[in-house]
Structure formats: structure tokens, C-alpha cells
Amino acid sequence: MPIPISPTAPPDAVDTRRAVVLLSGGLDSSTTLAIARHEGFAAYALSFRYGQRHQFELEAAAKIAHQLGAIRHVIADIDLRQFGGSALTDDIEVPKDRPVEDLAGGIPITYVPARNTIFLSFALAWAEVLEAADIFIGVNAIDYSGYPDCRPEYIEAFQRMANLATRAGVEGRTRLQIHTPLINLTKAQIIARGLELGVDFSLTHSCYDPDARGRACGHCDACQLRLKGFAAVGIPDPAPYQP
């Protein structure tokens, strides 16, 4: 459902360029939204309810969309559970305390099949309706290279396909661009950039396995990468952790 957003949002004037920003509520996508806003885009934030184990990351997405002045925040309902195949949507146990240096090798079992392809496809649909030529996605090829759909060659191929898929592309009115401002940044660089741009990281949620109050476990792959990033920047992570 559309949620009207934020007194800090810019006027949605015809001369403001619109962008659809994929927003999970985690650290990377929140920084990506801040970058889109910093570059002057009127931001339309898009999240997904796709059978996650918990709703904390969607609550985080709504708070961050508001904090960073998105024009609208839409949560699209899709159900990937009927296809099975991943720890984030099935009842497989989330891996804990894996050595951080192992995380880049191989594809993690938390991989959701075709997830970014589905997410970008919905972003493309919304962009077409908004007559927006820009989509932002916070993929990263450095700290977490296990996902095939986070690689630059994948993003380029999606962009090429998207420009053949749409009315605007066919009619030559717009040239759709997929922006990946984080793709070559380390987690520490992402955090530093987010802090510069005023992201309130206490609102973000990264953990795959939070407790009932939404506090992070500190041990899953996502928590470990996040904590390592904050340690490298030299500040404590302001998000709540389980004692």
C-alpha cells in the first residue's frame, strides 16, 4: 500500500527527476537511498514482503524512507515461498558464527532464487508508470560476492534487457539506468558514506535471525559483516543487539 511520506520530502515537481530506490531496511539500501536523495532525485522507495521470517526489516524500511525524505514508500507483496529453496524463506537454520573470511566464497544458503531479478522487475514496472528513468539498488560486489545477482555484469545485462522491455525504451523517450553506487565499496566505506549523508543507522535492520523484540543476534552472516564494518570505521553500531 502507498504510504505518504515525510515533511522533508522535496516537492514532486515535474522538473525533479524521479528514481525508484529498492529499500530493504538494511544498511546498504538505506545508504543507497541517501545517495539518491543527495544526487537530487525525488525518491520512490520500494520494499517487498516476500515471506521473510520476520517483519522488522520492513518496519526499518518505513522508518528510513521517512527519515530520508522519500516521496512514497510502497511495500509490494510477493510470495516466493511457494517455490521453496532458501533459508530466508524456508525453515532451514540460519548459519551462525561462520568465519567472516569464508563469506565471500560460494553462494550462501540464504540466497533467494532470482530475488534481485524479481525486485528489479517490480522497480522497472513502477519506474515505467512514474516515467522515471532511474533505479537505485544497493548491491555490493566486494564484501559479499556470493550472490550471482550482485555482480556488475548481471546489473548491466538487466539494464540492457530493461531498455528493450519498456514502452519508453522502444519509443526512445528515456534510457533507463540502474544505479549501483555501492558496488565497489567495502562495508566500512558504505557506513562512512551513510554517516556523511545523515543516515540514522539505529533505524536500520540487517540481522537474519532477530529476537522477538527485533534485536539483532550478532552472529549470523549479516550481523558479522555489519559489526566488522562498524569496527573498521571505529564507531559502535547504534542498532539494538541481544544482550
Residues that bind its own copies (CB under 8 A): 1-2, 74, 76-80, 82-85, 107, 111-118, 121-122, 124-126, 128-129, 148-149, 151, 153-154, 157-158, 160-162, 164-167, 169-171
Of the pair 137, 216, the CB lying nearest its own copies is at 137
To its own copies, the closest distance from the beta carbon of 153 in angstroms equals: 6
Of the pair 128, 237, the CB lying nearest its own copies is at 128
To its own copies, the closest distance from the beta carbon of 1 in angstroms equals: 7
Of the pair 179, 205, the CB lying nearest its own copies is at 179
Length of the chain: 243
To its own copies, the closest distance from the beta carbon of 63 in angstroms equals: 20
> In whole angstroms, what is the distance from residue 138 CA to residue 143 CA?
12
Maximum CA extent, the chain: 57
Of the pair 100, 170, the CB lying nearest its own copies is at 170
To its own copies, the closest distance from the beta carbon of 122 in angstroms equals: 7
Give the residue from 80, 172, 160 showing the smallest Cα distance to 124: 160
Of the pair 84, 243, the CB lying nearest its own copies is at 84
To its own copies, the closest distance from the beta carbon of 80 in angstroms equals: 6
